[in-house]
Chain A
Amino acid sequence: MPISYPRLLLCGDSALVVEFGNSIDPELNRRVLAFDALLAQEQVPGIRETVPTYRSLLVHYDPTIVAYAELGAKLMDFATREGLPSRRGRHWRVPVVYGEEFGIDLEAVAERARLSPEEVIARHSGAEYRVYMLGFLPGFTYLGGLDPKLATPRRQEPRLEAPAGMIAIGGIQTGIQCIAAPSGWNILGRTPMRTYHPSRDPIFLIEPGDHVSFFPIPMREWDALDRAAEAGEWVAEMVDP
């Protein structure tokens, strides 16, 4: 039986999922974010916070304020509205040191794609990516729009510790991992930008729906930029349309 979207899924007694589809698709993601923006605007009683992802919105709510049936009906009403407002995302230009000890998988990705490492860098930094979502870890930025030629499956054995600022490829996605954590993604390089910095205001820079492109910087610029970023500077360029 084909599933009809949007649909509601139960996520325990205090959360609902509104699912708009089942794939990684910019149009689906736009609907999720527009729906999220509408909920924020309408200030629906009982909603604690929302978590937009590729193709669904997780809505945390307080069941002592609103029951799931009532909230679910309201959410479905909003989700099926036509012409939801769409926010024009900002554009981030993010500096990256590609290769060398910061991009330990660059050679392997290049070999698999039958490209030179320089061509991989040119293709990876030549594209504009959509921020589908932030999740898993604070500031982990999931980006869509990777050159299909660069798609590389995740490693069989995840690394126990991938460094903060990692720029990597996992399947057809690329992303920025802000804090050191285990990872099965293929590491191309590293950015000094902190997408998450707990003692900076704002703590987070990138929003779902923004766009990101990368530009290569030489290793000799790393130390100064890394220090500046630690001190709270953004070290990425942002264009707000």
Chain B
Amino acid sequence: MSFLVVDKVGPATSVQDRGRSGAQRYGLTSSGAMDRKSLAIANALVGQKIGAAAIEIGPLGAEFRAVGGAVRVSLAGADRAATLDGRGAWVNETVLIPEGGTFAMSAARSGVFSYLGLEGAIAGKPVYGSLSVSARAGLGSPYPRPLQSGDKLEVGTAKRESFERRFKPLPVEQGPIRVVLGPQDDSMTPEAVALFFGAEWRVSPRSDRMGYRLEGPKLAHADGFNIVSDGTVPGSIQVPGNGQPLALLADRGTTGGYPKIATIITADLPRFAQTQAGGRVRFVSLPIEEAQKEARRFATMLAQIEERVERLLTRETVKGEG
């Protein structure tokens, strides 16, 4: 067995997988990776299931060290500079950290979250089927909180393989974030709905895994801003009393008492979550039939993601391990 030691870490870095299910009826939210697509890529690179636990790395830099044996990792998601013991390493590739070696990465140059996939699974105790950290709920394993320097994660030792792998990048997605109108668009004035789609929104720095606050023109409610609390989903766009939308994400509350004007489609959640603070977004409405077609396409893309993983020529071999 090996360990991955956290030597340097910024905020919003935590163990995340596909998230937990089955306890939203008790108020326990799903958590899980903010960008499920990049999580899948990181996992596919190291031969893990696409929803397995990885380290979600926030916008700042981080440094990890292998202790007790070599650790094979992969990096996917936000674009960053990375080094293995001072030599260049790359996003969308695997890298073997030899025992005692350090894998370091810069702050994100574009995007927000990166995923460090681990060939040997993270040892932990799942709750409702997930190791994902939900700091508020005191859940997550091995640490029920974001990672701090000095933390030590038990992971499997790297396999003795003489090759690394690379992920053939997917086409870059652009254009407005697609949403399905509702469930409470009728709680807003028709002008507010038109304004929501007409305006450009700025992602507030006061955004986190719970949700992204959007700054722009004030959206008016048709008849007060309180509804009888009902359920939320990842991507629900609430409009609280101040008229500034709040897009609920992985660590959202399971229920809420503000009208939800629209819901971001599943396929566009990763791209939305990767929008940096200060970044601009626009929204466009998609008919539900189209949105479901996109959801199925997204699921197929995830299921086939390992087909885009290819071997690289020999770069490093595992010495004296295994």
Q: B281 on the interface (CB 8 Å rule)?
A: no
Smallest Cβ-Cβ distance to B137: which chain A residue: A138
Residue A48 is within 8 A (CB to CB) of chain B in the complex: yes
- Residue in contact with B136 in the complex, picked from A15, A56, A57, A137, CB distance below 8 Å: A137
Contact of A63 among B27, B138, B295 (CB under 8 A): B295
B96 CB-CB contact with A under 8 Å: no
Residue B291 interfacial (CB < 8 Å): yes
Contact with B along A12-42 (1 / 0, CB 8 A): 1111010100111000000000000000000
CB distance B296 to A48 under 8 Å? no
One of A88-96, A103-111, A115-123, A128-136 contacting the partner: A128-136
A214 to chain B, nearest CB (A): 20
Of B21, B255, B292, which contacts A67 at CB under 8 A? B292
Instruction: Say how far B110's CB is from chain A's closest CB, in angstroms.
Output: 26
> With A50-B25, A179-B138 known to touch, is A64 a contact of B296 (CB < 8 Å)?
yes
* Pairwise interchain contact A58-B230, C-beta atoms closer than 8 A: yes
Indicate if the CB atoms of B136 and A12 lie closer than 8 Å.
no
Option from B26, B229, B266 in Cβ contact (under 8 Å) with A204:
B26
Question: Any chain A CB within 8 A of the CB of B236?
Answer: yes
* A67 vs B257: C-alpha distance when bound (angstroms): 28
A48-B21, A50-B25 are contacts. A13–B265 as well, Cβ < 8 Å? yes
Q: Once the chains bind, are B28 and A17 in contact (CB under 8 Å)?
A: no
Binary CB contact string for chain A from 49 to 91 against chain B (1 if under 8 A, 0 otherwise): 1111111111010011001100000000000000000000000
User: Does A208 interact with chain B (Cβ within 8 Å)?
Assistant: yes
A127 part of interface (Cβ distance < 8 Å): no
Q: Which of B167-183 contact A (CB under 8 A)?
A: 179-183
Most buried by B among A11, A13, A181, A198: A13
Q: Which parts of B121-160 form the interface with A (CB within 8 Å)?
A: 127, 136-139, 144
Q: Does B102 contact A (CB under 8 A)?
A: no
* In the complex, A10 has a CB within 8 A of chain B: yes
B24 lies within 8 A of chain A by Cβ: yes
Query: Which A residues, 203 to 229, have Cβ-Cβ distances below 8 Å to chain B?
Result: 203-204, 208
Residue of A12, A64, A67 touching B235 (CB-CB under 8 A): A12
Q: Is A185 an interface residue (CB 8 A)?
A: no
Residue among A11, A13, A136, A196 making CB contact with B229, cutoff 8 Å? A136
> Given the complex, which residues of B lie within 8 Å of A134, measured CB to CB?
25-27
Residues of B within 8 A of A64 (CB): 295-296, 299-300
Q: Is B263 in contact with chain A by the CB < 8 A criterion? A: yes
Chain B residues with Cβ under 8 A from A58's Cβ?
Answer: 24, 230-233
Whether the Cβ atoms of B21 and A12 lie closer than 8 Å is no
Indicate if A9 sits at the interface (CB-CB under 8 A): yes
In whole Å, how far is B113's beta carbon from the nearest beta carbon of chain A?
21
**Interchain CA distance A64-B27 in the complex, whole Å:** 26
Q: Chain A contacts of B194 at CB under 8 A?
A: none
B292 and A10 contact, CB distance less than 8 A: no
User: Within 8 Å CB of A22, what residues of B?
Assistant: 228
A99 at the interface (CB under 8 A from B): no
Rounded to whole angstroms, the CA-CA distance of A53 and B229 in the bound complex is: 7
A14-B233 in contact (CB<8A): yes
Complex: how many Å from CA A34 to CA B103? Answer: 54
Alpha-carbon gap, A55 to B227, bound state (A): 11
**Within the complex, which residue of B21, B184, B232, B260 is in contact with A49, where a contact is CB–CB below 8 Å?**
B21
In the complex the two chains form, what is the Cα distance from A160 to B67 in whole Å? 40
Q: Which residue of B lies closest to A59 (CB)?
A: B231
A102 near B: Cβ within 8 Å?
no
Question: What is the bound-complex CA distance between A48 and B25, given in angstroms?
Answer: 12
CB-contact partner of B292 in A11, A68, A181, under 8 A? A68
| Cα distance A115–B264 in the bound complex, in angstroms | 48
Given contacts A53-B230, A54-B230, contact A179 B136 (CB under 8 A): yes
Looking at the assembled complex, report how far the CB atom of A8 sits from the nearest CB atom of chain B, in whole angstroms: 9
Among B26, B232, B299, contact of A139 (Cβ-Cβ < 8 Å): B26
A98 within 8 A of B: no
Interface: A142 (CB within 8 A): yes
Q: Is the CB of A10 within 8 A of B229?
A: no
Is A12 a contact of B26 with CB atoms below 8 Å?
A: no
17 A-B residue pairings within 8 Å (CB atoms): A11-B182, A11-B231, A11-B260, A12-B235, A13-B263, A13-B295, A14-B266, A17-B230, A50-B25, A55-B230, A57-B231, A60-B24, A63-B266, A137-B136, A179-B136, A181-B136, A196-B27
The 5 closest A-B pairs by CB, nearest first: A58-B231, A135-B255, A12-B263, A9-B183, A13-B291
Which residues on B are within 8 Å of A, measured CB to CB?
21-29, 127, 136-139, 144, 179-184, 228-233, 235-236, 253-256, 260, 263-266, 288, 291-292, 294-296, 299-300
